[in-house]
Structure 1
Amino acid sequence: PQRRRRARPATRLVAEATACLAAVAGILVFRQQGTQAGTGVNLYTSAAPALIAVPAVIVVLRVYPLVLRGLLRGTSRNSGATAFLGLARAARTALTPALPAFALVLALSVTAFAGMVRDAVARGETAASWQAVGADATVMASALSTPGVQIYPAAERAASRVPGVTHAAAVWQANWSTQNDDQITGLVVDPASYAALAAATQGFPPLPARLLQPGRAGAPVPVLASPQAAAYLGHSASTLTSDGPVQPVRVQVAGVVPATQALPGTSAFVIIPRSALHSFAIPAAPVPVNELLLTGAGIDRTRLTAVVRTMIPEGGVTFRSDILNSLASAPLQHGTFVLFALAVVVAAGLGLAVMLVELALGAAEREVTLARLATMGLDERHRTRMVVLEVLPAVIAAAVAAWACAVVLPRVVAPAIDLSAFTGSSAAVALTPDVAAVALPLAGLAAVAAVALAIEVRTGRRRGVTASLRAGG
């Protein structure tokens, strides 16, 4: 018998080490395999939460008794009898055996995984809507891109004064040609207002407006260019010619920006300060405007649409919220999120069942202990606190393991998950741990456990101390 008792810890250690190594090996194979089109369901992707939960649960169960012993020693000197008795019961009882603990952590990991992917898709849809529109609302002088049609100053002022508009930037978008006849889209802007609007958008690099400040008279006009346009223009000064009513302008690339709000996409473009251009007919005449970018969380859609319909008859307005709603309400997203919701419900039910089973396993022994404490004069409030402290360490242990899984899970599954099907664009979507998806179910389970234990204490009081002691032998 003594040899058997000595062999049990060694056997458990070997089994736990084997389980950890098997889980790590599965994770490594998962990362190397990734996802392949047309191969059906990726079993490793589905198994990732379970593979990560295995070592997390084993480590927590190994550390759990040590932490409890330390807390017990501390409460024996500094706390009252209630805390000491609760922690002593937690250290004595097997409230977190491996299988229930694994089931509880796995349930929390599944909810974290579902919340993580859902949040990533939501962020991806938001990024895709910014990439598609460039602002919260974009007004074009002509819905059919008719040359020569413009937004007049009165219409520009009326649109910028619509309730909810916080930033407005006027743009003249036209085709320009380099000295080598390369075609470039020119975006003529006021650097200050365009930079302010750029700072209020998402998914685009900041606009270094300071680089667009004109130099001395006769010097080339500094412009910002896309990588392709910068390759066309080179490092030296170059002359650009527009198909609009403005004189050619001598420019030099002052900086490179990969994308910009006024022209979402990957076209070759240059951003030119408006003050550098002069009209053919009247040198002091303002440069025309054929695009207006507006930002604001609560833009009055009805007023803005009325302004465009009345003052820009050939124009059109695109709202970013419409693009975002079309992405969020697509059948693929709807079906996927329904499956995620079902997975969360099932995981929550599993976690609740595990918690209730663990409470039921120790109910008889707790009832006898509570009856004995009642005979010693411990009131109901302290008895409730004692049984809560008995269960609380197990809940905290599950929370630590679930939090570790939630932190590791994005790093493991990110290389194998492509969310572009949900966003409809190539915008990068990062997977980040979803703390709320773990904290909320865990708080619910803790609340259920506290209520169940309080009911158990009151039931024991109504049953009577003598009956409880007799039932406990």
Structure 2
Amino acid sequence: MRFPLPVRAHAGTLAVLVALTAVACLLVAGLPRATQASFDEALRRALTTAPAVQTDLTVASEPVEDLRERAQFESLYRHWQHSVPAALRPLITPDGHMSAKTSRTPVTGTGGGTYINLGWLSDADRRVDWVQGRMPGPTSTTRHEGETIPLIEVGVVDEAVREMGLGVGQIKMLGESDYVAVKIVGIFKAKNPGDRYWSHDLDILHVSKQRPPGGMDEELHLTTLMSDAGLTALSGAARHLTYRWVLPLDGRAASALDVPDLDAAVAELGRLVKVQEVSNNPHRLDTGLPKLLDDFSAALAAAQTVLYLALGGLLTVALGVIVLGVRLLTDRMEHTFALARARGGSLRQVAGAGAAMTALAVAPAALAGYALSFLVPGPVLAVVHVGPAVVVVTAVAFAAVRVSVAHRTPLHERRDDVADARPSVRRVTLEVLVVGLALVGAYLLRARGLSQDPLLLFVPVALTLAAALITLRCYPYPLRLLVRLAARGRAAVPFLGLTRAARARSASGLPVLVLLPALAVSVFATMISNEIASTQVRASWQQVGAPIKVTSVGEIPASVIEKVRATDGVEQVVMAQTGQVQLADAPEYAAAIAVDVAQWRRLIAGTPISVPPLSGGTSALVSPALKGRGAFEIGWLSRPRVTPQGVIDSVPGFWSSGKFLVMPMTVLPRPQANTLLIKGDVSRAELARLVPAATVDSQKRALAAIREDPLTGIVRSTLVVVTVALGLYALVAVVLSLLVGAAERARAVSFLRTLGLSDRQARRLTVLEVLPMVLVTALVGLGLGLGLPIALGPGVDLSAYAGDLQVSGYSPDLVMAGVLAGGLAVAAALGAYAHTALGRHRDLGAVLRVGDQS
């Protein structure tokens, strides 16, 4: 067959097929790259924003055999570097470091109230500046209680000068039996205290205050810095001593695809560290990387579940629309193929010609869409190559099969409008099997969840296919009831239009198989996106507890509070005092907040959060962990006795678990506040200026932080893209379904026009023929889309994208459903009117064959 003439004759149809194929291949190849790029960015952000002590690989040892020299530490560090599995090596940076520290080393004579630990950092010279005195030097000796003991020169952080009264020149005796003396020779400050590096050594940068279990008084803990020479005086036999070799991890090169390998590599390194005999000391691997990877994998799995469902539905619909376009092309070439068969062409030649015509359109278009997908940033996955190939193979294979089935015998005439097609027993059995499997899968999905069986991910696809098959089989039956009612009337148009709509013609199947998943997946994507958005808002309020919250370590002076009240834009200020309180006389503590609950309730009125009412006096709201205790005393500035009035699961902006209670401000002996809850339009910078020592947080900032997460962003943006694309595909499917049956419809209308059918009646007839299929399919698709979130709800946890709040209670988006259904109905009606208008001036002799008008 010569192609130039058919190409010119069917240029419009080929152009539609080219456009559909190019867009489909761009979406199929581009969206996975964009989603994977966001997955990678999410992992990199998780690794680079987490404390280094959590992500780095730290080999630790409580020594039996002491290491006395720096060279011994460096030799072991090189060994651990070489032991890192291959999957982790690209992420390990060369600037590792080592340390040796004692813990809980008491200052002699303090009764365990003060602890000064000895510490050595291999890279201290690069990390600190000495602001007073000098760097520690060699170790010497001194006399104590008639014995010669080591005297170690150390430096302390400048914070210790304020908090513990330490200074240059002081000598402190450490230990209760095995003594050692330290001489403070310098005061240092960190060069970059915000560096992630310091998360390994916060005990060196800060004085910590700890309350021991059952104790009433706080302990002071500090770790000093000493020189390399101080290692000779450290012994694990006399102190609680720990050696550490830190292998820093740079997450900027990580990929989400490598997470399983990274997890396995960390486990392998942990095993090697335990079993390798590099010294007489036992070693272990300390890292929070497995937990971080597991948390990321859980969030990633939920994102992939939603996105794979959406992208799978998009691919299915795109293939269906392309198949509709191929069906239109082969129908337009029906007479050409029939003539070729009548002139002796073999079935292989005719089918090959149809496949070649289709390939001529879809292959270059697929290549163009595939090439355009490389403009989308992201890694090149296998689906980027496979997706466009699937589109081309599906289109060409359908064309070959369609032409082969239609032209098995030369000049085989068919009249699909005369009698209903009766499906074979084999086909009915297969359809019943698909419906049964879909229902069983839906039950298992709700009962077990996706975590138990990933194959259940195909359940929504099976449900969509089952709903489409049921619709195909059942939608003619209610129309036949309408036909019987219309037959009793005098008007012929309703009877004829509904009769043609009720006939199970082969051309009606494809539009249903395209429209139904398009509507179902688009409604599903919209509901998921909307529910995530609303839960994000609720989570942001839950995190802050007010439009703006100002939290100070110490008491906020009354004069400062008045300045805040007088600031432009501030509408309401509620004072609150938070702290740890002792419960009764037992060594048990709980978090507490004293606040005017009535004012707080007025401040958050109309927001997604609420606080139960609380009467005055000494009533309190307690957490579930404190439920059923009756009245009890608390130790907080005084010893008031509070009576639980109710149970509250969480306190917005403060606590959501553990032991806590909410009480009136009048419980305190004097009104004071370390927290301000503010309503109004005022900048965080202005409040930070008014309360310099405080942390200012806002609901808007919390919401922005939740939405800026890469995983959250890609889930919502992909759902929006899929929704828009599916809506457009649904409209294209309606138009193509009109075009596919255009020839048959024009022929029927032409027959009726010879009997006196007017143009107005022809338009009504066409609308009544087309609209029922669209409306029935739209209703089923919308119903399935509204039910998919409910079916998937127990199996998919989306809390990672909503501020760790559970996404549940999916409310039907009737507005979106109405817009989609209405849009398709309008498109079908307008298409029917346009089709009738275009065929109004057609010559009947050009439509009807010789003898049809007799």
- TM-score (normalizing by structure 1): 0.79
Letter of the 2:441 partner, please give it. G
What is the aligned partner in structure 2 of residue 44 from structure 1?
A: 456
Tell me which residue corresponds to 2:442: 27
1:359 aligns with 2:743: no
Q: Where does residue 72 of structure 1 map in the other structure?
A: 483
Q: Does structure 1 conserve the Cα–Cα contact (< 8 Å) formed by 2:522 and 2:785?
A: no
Structure 2: runs of 5+ lacking an equivalent: 1-419
Task: In structure 1, list runs of 5 or more residues that go unmatched.
Answer: 215-220, 280-286
Cα 1:425–1:312, aligned 2, differ >3 Å: closer, same or farther? same
Q: Going by fraction, where is helix more abundant, 1 or 2?
A: 1
Q: Which of 334, 344, 357 is matched with 2:723 structurally?
A: 344
Match of 2:603 among 197, 201, 213: 197
Instruction: Specify which structure has the higher proportion of strand.
Output: 2
Structure 1 residues 96 and 259: CA distance shift in structure 2, 3 A: farther
| Greater shift in the superposed pair: 80-89 or 453-462 | 80-89
Change (3 A) 1:277 1:430: same
Q: Partner letter of residue 744 of structure 2?
A: E
Pick the structure with greater CA Rg.
2
> Which amino acid in 1 is paired with 2:800?
A
Q: Is 2:762 the counterpart of 1:400? A: no
Indicate conservation of the 8 Å contact 2:577/2:593, yes or no: yes
Q: Is the 8 A contact 1:49 1:110 kept in 2?
A: no
Residue 819 of structure 2 is aligned to residue 425 of structure 1: no
Q: C-alpha separation between the residues in 2 aligned to 1:368 and 1:8?
A: 26
Counterpart of 1:457 in structure 2 is: 836
In the alignment, which residue of structure 1 is the partner of 2:648? 257
In structure 2, the residue matched to 1:55 is 466
CA distance in 2, matches of 1:441, 1:289: 53
Matched, 1:386 2:780: no
1:358: Cα distance to partner? 2.4
What is the alpha-carbon distance in structure 1 between the residues aligned to residue 693 and residue 421 of structure 2? 87
Conservation of the 8 A alpha-carbon contact between 2:577 and 2:594: yes
Once the 2 structures are TM-superposed, how far is the Cα of residue 22 of structure 1 from its aligned partner?
2.3
CA distance in 2, matches of 1:96, 1:467: 23
CA contact (8 A) 2:450 2:796 kept: yes
Distance 2:503 2:478 in 1: 13
Residues 184 and 358 (structure 1 numbering): CA distance in 2 closer, same or farther, change over 3 Å?
same
2:526 counterpart of 1:115? yes
Matched, 1:174 2:571: no
Q: Distance in 2 between matches of 1:24 and 1:419?
A: 24
Preserved contact between residue 766 and residue 832 of structure 2 (Cα < 8 Å): yes
Rounded Cα–Cα distance in structure 2 between residues aligned with 1:412 and 1:154? 53
Q: Could you say what secondary structure the match of 2:475 adopts?
A: helix
Change (3 A) 1:378 1:105: same
Residue in 2 that maps onto 1:218? none
C-alpha distance in 2 between matches for 1:413 and 1:63: 26
C-alpha displacement of 1:229: 4.0
Q: Structure 1 240/109 Cα, relative in aligned 2: closer, same or farther at 3 Å? A: same
How far is 1:347 from its partner?
Answer: 3.4
**Partner residue of 1:300?**
681
SS in 1 for 2:436: helix
Does the 8 A contact of 1:131 with 1:264 survive in 2?
A: no
Once the 2 structures are TM-superposed, how far is the Cα of residue 148 of structure 1 from its aligned partner? 5.7
Name the structure 2 match of 1:409: 788
Going from structure 1 to structure 2, the CA distance change for 1:198 and 1:182 (only over 3 Å counts) comes to farther
Q: In 2 relative to 1, CA 33–139 (structure 1 residues): closer, same or farther, beyond 3 Å? A: same
Q: CA deviation at 1:67?
A: 0.9
Q: Which residue of 1 aligns with 2:126?
A: none
C-alpha separation in 2, matches of 1:248 and 1:34: 50
Query: Which residue matches 2:562?
Result: 154
SS in 2 for 1:248: coil
2:840 aligns to what SS in structure 1?
Answer: helix
Report if aligned partners of 1:173, 1:186 keep a CA contact under 8 Å in 2: yes
Q: Is the 8 A contact 1:101 1:398 kept in 2?
A: yes
Q: What's the offset of the Cα at 1:395? A: 0.9
Cα distance in 2 for partners of 1:460, 1:99 equals 24
Deviation at 1:153, TM superposition (A): 5.0
Relative distance call for 1:404 and 1:318 in structure 2 (3 A) is same
- C-alpha distance 427-107 of structure 1, shift in aligned 2 (>3 A): closer
Residues 92 and 420 of structure 1, relative CA distance in 2, 3 Å threshold? closer
Instruction: Find the counterpart in structure 2 of residue 16 from structure 1.
Output: 431
Partner deviation per Cα, 1:125-161 (whole Å, 9 max, x = no partner):
2232122111222123x2xx224656755235336x7
Structure 2 vs 1, CA of residues 86 and 181 (structure 1 numbering), >3 Å: closer, same or farther? same
The verdict on how the C-alpha distance between 1:35 and 1:60 changes in structure 2, with shifts beyond 3 A counting, is closer
Contact between 1:238 and 1:252, CA under 8 Å: does it hold in 2?
A: yes
Q: Is the 8 A contact 1:156 1:292 kept in 2?
A: no
- AA at the equivalent of 1:290: N
Mapped contact 1:173–1:187 kept (Cα < 8 A): yes
Q: Give the deviation of 1:72 after TM superposition.
A: 2.0
Choose from 595, 615, 620 the match for 1:223.
620
CA distance in 2 between counterparts of 1:460 and 1:13 reads 38
Note the alpha carbon deviations across 1:376-419, whole angstroms, 9 max, x for none: 55443442232112111101111222133123312321222121
1:373 to partner: Cα distance? 4.3
Alignment of 1:447 with 2:853, yes or no, is no
**Aligned partner of 2:661: which letter?**
V
- Corresponding residue number in structure 1 for 2:634: 240
CA distance in 1, matches of 2:421, 2:842: 43
What amino acid is aligned across from residue 645 of structure 2 in structure 1? A
Whether contact under 8 Å (2:575, 2:673) holds in the other structure is: yes
What SS does structure 2 have at the residue aligned with 1:258? coil
CA contact (8 A) 1:406 1:435 kept: no
Alignment-mate amino acid for residue 701 of structure 2: D
CA-CA distance at 1:43 after TM superposition: 4.3
Q: Give the number of aligned pairs.
A: 432
Please name the residue that 1:284 is paired with: none
Distance in 2 separating the partners of 1:264 and 1:79 = 73
Cα distance between partner residues in 2 of 1:133 and 1:416: 29
| Structure with more contact order per residue of length (Cα contacts < 8 Å, sep ≥ 6) | 1
Shift of 1:33: 5.1
Deviations along 1:7-41, one digit per CA (max 9) or x if unpaired, are: 8565554333222112223334444553339x9xx
For residues 21 and 101 of structure 1, do their structure 2 counterparts lie closer, same or farther at Cα, with a shift above 3 Å needed?
Answer: same
Q: In the alignment, what sits opposite 2:669?
A: 278
Provide the TM-score with structure 2 as the length reference.
0.46
Deviation at 1:329, TM superposition (A): 2.4
Distance in 1, matches of 2:511 and 2:678, equals: 55
How far did residue 435 of structure 1 move? 4.3
How many percent of aligned residue pairs carry the same amino acid?
28
Among candidates 130, 139, 142, match of residue 550 of structure 2: 139
Q: Structure 1 residues 377-386 or 404-413, which shifts more?
A: 377-386
Distance apart, 1:113 and its partner CA: 2.6
* Range that drifts further, 252-261 or 324-333: 324-333
Cα deviation digits, residues 185-210 of structure 1 (max 9, x gap): 33222232223335433255x4133x
- Judged with a 3 Å threshold, the aligned counterparts in structure 2 of structure 1 residues 53 and 183 are, in CA distance, closer, same or farther, namely same
- Residues 405-463 of structure 1, C-alpha deviations (whole Å, 9 max, x = no match): 12331232122212133234254544454445544444333333223222211211233
8 Å contact kept, 1:128–1:427: no
